[in-house]
């Protein structure tokens, strides 16, 4: 049997009958041995120095990752955007692969794209854009962007903005929705005014408990009466001083596809609360009930549910802070290192929604040993943190570089995302990067 | 829960789309029913879904018939899809469950691809 057919056979076997493949490839003690080790090594393109640590049933990252067999990722070709990976054309959704997120401050071309509806056309005079603040307020405000810039103090902050579904693709069974890997995250420097200042100018009534956000994008069905999405946050989060109405990013205009000329940034919470093309903030006397609120959308189970089971909406709560996550950004998955490489310098970012990251660790031996990374401080609250670490690679062969972070509440990341839910929120499995040191 | 199950979940969970090395410019397929797998009721299902959103969103999913029913319910309740009844609903669900079943592990090995 030739190498090629052996490799293809392994892939097919795992795809078609993973249980049998495990039985054939791994022995009962869970260690790769003999011809099985050779087959696995051939499949990943090199010897596996830490094969003794590979758990039974474990699929190497090089095998487990990637677009479905026989397909290539679809790459976005859009003026002003880097080579993002398209998850969907209609609505346009594209993520930024981990290795394009190496900058400490995410440049505009690398800010991911997530639409729920049809994006509006650019406006010719951004300063005439009007925002209405109404509902449980003493004075209904109708402010143009020009007036807003004059009336309120500007703030500039580096802020995480992350889609609530980031990491969804790792759920098993598959959760519904865009199959994000880790690329629905950005950490750009946003300039705007505090939502708090605008709400205080309107004067909140004691009955104000929640916000409802509206933008000018339209529902995909073409129903003009239906918002593409309309979510909101509790007043306490709206009044938080890092929650801003942004009109600029990284010192210039916001890209049209990312919400120009005006959008909310509600850092650390699901991106769907950071309404793009925002033109109305409705202050509510109850939890907002707009499009994307209720059911199992942007919600997670209170009591853990059986993966794949039918969801009971009564067992769900709104996803607020995003979970802890870390990524390796300087070594793309599938990197062939120089022959003779025995140490690799790693770099990446870690963030944790409303919390800070207290620890980052990396491993090159399938998690048997962990090395503590040097962890930087956030530029400001809600900015991500940059980490660096060196890992030794004892020999030539195939390695996986794993990273995990722990947040200030002591919560870390698992190998698999926990708390399965039908629409796949809160998935924060460890990031794994496969590298090869040629013999 | 057996360790084997745990690790099987780990392995299956690690499905990450990524760009390995150079990636060819995507050549867009036409948005027509043939992008869905063949099967009875394919065209009806295709037009039902793509009236609003791209077919790639459907093709990225893999569900049991029961979970496809949940997905259709969300589309009806929240996204203006016409409510399906009787044979129409059954045939749609039969098609989706058969054409887009729960996904097994799919592999794409960067090193292997590079060497072939």
CB contact under 8 A, A69 and B51: no
Sign of CA dihedral A285, A291, A295, A300: negative
- Which one has a higher pLDDT value, A338 or A65? A338
- pLDDT higher than threshold 60 for residue A134: yes
Residue A242 burial (CB count, 10 A): 21
Mean pLDDT (whole number) for A274-287: 98
Q: How far is CA A424 from CA A170, A190, A412, A436, in A?
A: 9, 28, 18, 32
Q: What is the mean pLDDT for each group of 10 consecutive residues in chain B (116 residues)?
A: 35 30 46 94 93 92 93 91 91 97 66 58
Residue of A nearest to B59 (CA): A88
Mutate which: B1, B2, B13, vs A, most A CBs within 10 A:
B13
All structural domains of chain A: 3-59 (no CATH), 79-318 (3.90.420.10), 325-437 (2.60.40.650)
In a domain, B62, yes or no: yes
**Nearest alpha carbon to residue A431 among A400, A387, A409:** A400
Residue of B nearest to A66 (CA): B17
**A87 and chain B in contact, CB less than 8 A:** yes
Q: What is the pLDDT of residue A50?
A: 72
In a domain, B55, yes or no: yes
Percent of chain A with pLDDT over 70: 85
**Beta strand pairing status for A325-328 and A343-351?**
antiparallel
List all residues 6 or more positions away from A282 whose beta carbon is below 8 Å from its beta carbon: A134, A135, A211, A212, A213, A214, A232, A288
In a domain, B2, yes or no: no
Give how many domains chain B has, as a whole number: 1
Instruction: Provide ipTM, 2 decimals.
Output: 0.70
Contact A300, A419 (CB under 8 A): yes
CB contact under 8 A, B53 and A16: no
Mean pLDDT (whole number) for A295-310: 93
What would the pLDDT profile of A50-91 be if each residue is shown by its tens digit? 766 665 555 666 655 545 444 678 899 999 999 999 999 889
CA distance A348 to A160: 14
Confidence of residue A26 (pLDDT cuts 50, 70, 90): very low
**CB contacts < 8 Å between A and B, how many?**
227
Residue of A nearest to B62 (CA): A174
- pLDDT higher than threshold 90 for residue A326: yes
CA distance A130 to A146: 9
Which 337-396 residues of chain A touch chain B by CB within 8 A? Answer: none
- Residues making up chain A, counted from first to last: 439
Q: What is the pLDDT of residue A29?
A: 38
Q: Highest-confidence range of A51-60, A68-77, A216-225, A326-335, by mean pLDDT?
A: A326-335
Mutate which: B20, B104, B114, vs A, most A CBs within 10 A:
B20
In this structure, the dihedral spanned by the alpha carbons of residues A44, A50, A53 and A58, taken in order and rounded to 10 degrees, is -10
Average pLDDT value for chain A: 89
List all residues 6 or more positions away from A420 whose beta carbon is below 8 Å from its beta carbon: A171, A172, A173, A175, A304, A305, A306, A307, A308
Question: A185 vs chain B: nearest CA distance in angstroms?
Answer: 15
In a domain, B114, yes or no: no
In a domain, B99, yes or no: yes
CA distance A264 to A245: 4
Q: What is the pLDDT of residue A120?
A: 95
In a domain, B72, yes or no: yes
**Full residue range of the structural domain in which residue B45 is found:** 33-103
What would the pLDDT profile of B8-32 be if each residue is shown by its tens digit? 333 333 322 222 222 333 456 788 9
CA distance B110 to A43: 10
In a domain, B24, yes or no: no
Q: What is the pLDDT of residue B80?
A: 87
CB contact under 8 A, A90 and B53: yes
Residues from chain B contacting residue A55 (CB–CB below 8 Å): 3, 7, 10
In a domain, B88, yes or no: yes
Contact A166, A274 (CB under 8 A): no
Question: A102 vs chain B: nearest CA distance in angstroms?
Answer: 15
Q: What is the pLDDT of residue A48?
A: 73
Sign of CA dihedral A405, A411, A412, A417: negative
């Amino acid at each position: 049997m030739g190498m090629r057919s052996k490799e293809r056979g392994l892939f097919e076997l795992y795809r078609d009958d993973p249980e049998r493949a495990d039985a054939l490839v791994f022995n009962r003690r869970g260690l790769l041995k003999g011809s099985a080790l050779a087959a696995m090594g051939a499949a990943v393109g090199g010897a596996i120095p830490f094969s003794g640590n590979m758990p039974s049933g474990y699929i190497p990252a090089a095998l487990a990752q990637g677009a479905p067999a026989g397909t290539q990722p679809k790459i976005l070709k859009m003026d002003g955007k880097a080579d993002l990976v398209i998850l969907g054309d209609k609505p346009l959704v594209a993520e930024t692969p981990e290795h394009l997120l190496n900058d400490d401050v995410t440049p505009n071309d690398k800010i991911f794209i997530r639409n729920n509806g049809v994006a509006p056309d650019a406006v010719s005079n951004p300063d005439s854009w009007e925002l209405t603040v109404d509902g449980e307020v003493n004075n209904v405000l109708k402010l143009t962007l020009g007036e807003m810039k004059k009336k309120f103090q500007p703030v500039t902050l580096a802020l995480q903005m992350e889609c609530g579904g980031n990491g969804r693709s790792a759920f098993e069974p598959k959760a519904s929705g865009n199959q994000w890997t880790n690329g629905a995250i950005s950490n750009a420097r946003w300039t705007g005014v505090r939502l708090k200042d605008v709400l205080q100018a309107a004067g909140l009534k004691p009955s104000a408990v929640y916000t409802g956000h509206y933008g000018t994008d339209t529902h995909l069905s073409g129903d003009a009466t239906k918002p593409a999405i309309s979510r909101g946050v509790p007043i306490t989060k709206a009044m938080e001083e890092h929650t801003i109405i942004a009109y600029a990013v990284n010192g210039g205009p916001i890209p049209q596809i990312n919400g120009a000329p005006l959008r909310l940034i509600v850092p650390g919470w699901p991106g769907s609360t950071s309404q793009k093309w925002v033109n109305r903030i409705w202050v509510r006397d109850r939890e907002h009930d707009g499009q994307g609120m209720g059911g199992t959308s942007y919600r997670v189970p209170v009591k853990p549910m059986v993966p794949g089971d039918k969801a009971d909406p009564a067992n769900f709560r709104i996803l607020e802070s995003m979970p802890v996550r870390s990524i390796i950004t300087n070594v793309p998955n599938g990197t062939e290192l120089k022959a003779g490489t025995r140490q690799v310098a790693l770099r990446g970012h870690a963030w944790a929604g409303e919390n800070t990251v207290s620890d980052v660790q990396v491993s090159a031996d399938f998690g048997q040993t962990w090395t503590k990374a040097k962890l930087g401080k956030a530029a400001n609250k809600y900015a991500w943190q940059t980490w660096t670490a060196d890992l030794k690679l004892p020999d030539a062969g195939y390695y996986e570089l794993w990273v995990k972070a722990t947040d200030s509440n002591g919560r870390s990341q698992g190998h698999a995302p926990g708390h399965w839910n039908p629409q796949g929120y809160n998935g924060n499995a460890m990031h794994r990067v496969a590298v090869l040191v040629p013999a | 829960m057996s360790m084997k199950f745990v690790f099987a979940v780990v392995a299956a969970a690690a499905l990450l789309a990524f760009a390995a090395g150079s990636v060819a410019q995507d050549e867009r397929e036409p948005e027509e029913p043939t992008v869905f797998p063949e099967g009875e009721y394919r065209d009806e299902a295709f037009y039902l879904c793509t009236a609003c959103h791209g077919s790639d969103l459907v093709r990225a999913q893999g569900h049991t018939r029961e979970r496809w029913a949940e997905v259709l319910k969300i589309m009806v309740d929240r996204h203006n899809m016409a409510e399906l009844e009787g044979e129409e609903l059954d045939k749609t669900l039969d098609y989706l469950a058969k054409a887009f079943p729960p996904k097994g592990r799919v592999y794409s090995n960067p090193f292997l691809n590079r060497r072939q």
